[in-house]
Structure 1
């Protein structure tokens, strides 16, 4: 769901339930080898500690996004200050804040991704509202079946 929450903010929230454990989901969200499988060959570079730098890179090494780990509470919560640097029209919007919350629920884990930008009508939020559902569907399917749902590789085009 993408919407303007206040006159000065754009917000995207996605909730999914995955048959896994919080620890396995944390590893899938932060581990390079696993991330490359569901994020179309892309990977994150960070030690995932508060204050640490963070980057999202294409398979060929180009930087797509940069930022900083704002908060890390494994395996419950991860907050990333996130800026797209690959597409100028998105980079011009400045930093966004991405919060991933992991909560055990019965035999599954509830994953809530909240991505926000302090500006109305954000093109960045519009872009992630199309990307996150594909990425998280791949993640869910990979964790539950061992295979990704959509194995296309990101080209960065």
Structure 2
């Protein structure tokens, strides 16, 4: 008998599904070692056999900037994740300025992409790095605030 039950595994599938929907399996596939079709199996609630390998989870969560699947795994063992504030850099005006600059670039690119009410593949390739950069900058800002570094 396995230590995890159907409910536990379904929760893992659901977390995987949410993470893949958030980033988009087609957008994520070039960032990892598996193809979009396999990613879809990992996130499919109807597929009880295929679960995402740990290295692909690490890739996905790094791209997302959110440990959604790891948090679900921790919860299954009775734990919860908290951000690690050790080694954070102090919060600076330069950091705030960089966030504002990135936000401005991202918003401008989003507006330009949505002028025709459609985001095409070329626009997605331009937008994703801006989104990822904004996420990384905001995570650094969050770490600085959690760590109390000023």
Same fold (TM over 0.5): no
More strand by share: 1
Larger RCO of the pair (alpha carbons < 8 Å, separation 6+):
1
More helix by share: 2
TM-score (norm 1): 0.26
